[in-house]
Amino acid sequence: MSPTTVAPPPKLDLDPAVVRKARTLAQRLGKPVVEIARTHTTVSVERATLRLAGLAGADHERVPWVNHLVDSVRSQVGLEHGVTTPVWDALRRDEAPDLLTLAQKAATGAVSFRIPERKGEATAARRSARAAVRPGIQRIDRQHAARDRLIGRLGDPERRPWIYLIVATGDIYEDIPQAQAAAREGADVIAVIRSTGQSLLDYVPEGATREGFAGTYATQENFRLMRAALDEVSKELGRYVRLTNYASGLCMPEIAALAGLERLDMMLNDSMYGILFRDINPIRTFVDQRFSRQVHARAGIIINTGEDNYLTTADAVEAAHTVTVSQLMNEYFGKEAGLADWQLGLGHAFEINPQVEESFRLELAHALLARQLFPNAPLKWMPPTKHMTGDIFGGYLLDGFFNLVGAMTGQSILLVGMMTEAVVTPFLSDRDLALQNVRYVQRAAGGLTEDFHPPRDGFIQTRARQVLSEAIDLLERITGDGDRTGRSASGSVPLLDAIADGTFGLMKRPADRGKGLDGVAPKADDYDNPATNLLEEGLK
* Coil, strand or helix at 521: strand
The whole-angstrom separation of Cα 514 and Cα 278 is 9
Distances (CA, A) of 126 to 39, 133, 307, 476, 525: 19, 11, 40, 44, 15
For 110-127, the DSSP string reads --------SHHHHHHHHH
The whole-angstrom separation of Cα 114 and Cα 94 is 13
Could you report how far apart the first and last alpha carbons of the chain are, in Å?
16
Helix axis angle for 282-299 and 252-261, nearest 10°, is 10
Give the DSSP H or E segment for 164: strand 162-166
Say which of 89, 175, 246, 380 is annotated catalytic.
380
Across 64-145, where does the E strand assignment appear?
Answer: none
* Percent helix, percent strand, percent coil in the chain, to nearest 5: 55, 5, 40
Of 187, 214, 232, 244, which Cα lies nearest the Cα of 432? 187
In terms of C-beta density within 10 A (0-12 exposed, 13-18 middle, 19 or more buried), how is residue 98 classed?
Answer: exposed
| Beta-carbon contacts of residue 255 (< 8 Å; ≥ 6 apart) | 204, 218, 245, 246, 247, 248, 249, 267, 292
Cβ–Cβ < 8 Å for 341, 3: yes
Beta bridge partners, 268, equal: 246, 304
Q: Catalytic annotation on 501?
A: no
Across 323-400, where does the E strand assignment appear?
Answer: 344-345, 347-349, 380-382
Cβ–Cβ < 8 Å for 63, 203: yes
Beta bridge partners, 42, equal: 520
Neighbours of 452 (CB within 10 A): 17
Cis check: omega of the bond before 86, within 30 degrees of 0: no
Cβ–Cβ < 8 Å for 307, 349: yes
| Beta-carbon contacts of residue 247 (< 8 Å; ≥ 6 apart) | 255, 256, 259, 267, 268, 269, 292, 296, 303
Question: Cα 75 vs. chain centroid, distance in angstroms?
Answer: 31
Q: Catalytic annotation on 380?
A: yes
| Beta-carbon contacts of residue 484 (< 8 Å; ≥ 6 apart) | none
Across 383-447, where does the E strand assignment appear?
Answer: 413-415
Give the DSSP H or E segment for 530: helix 530-537
Say which of 288, 308, 399, 528 is annotated catalytic.
308
Say which of 164, 203, 273, 332 is annotated catalytic.
273
Of 48, 51, 113, 52, which Cα lies nearest the Cα of 85? 113
Helix axis angle for 282-299 and 530-537, nearest 10°, is 50
Which residues carry out catalysis? 273, 308, 380
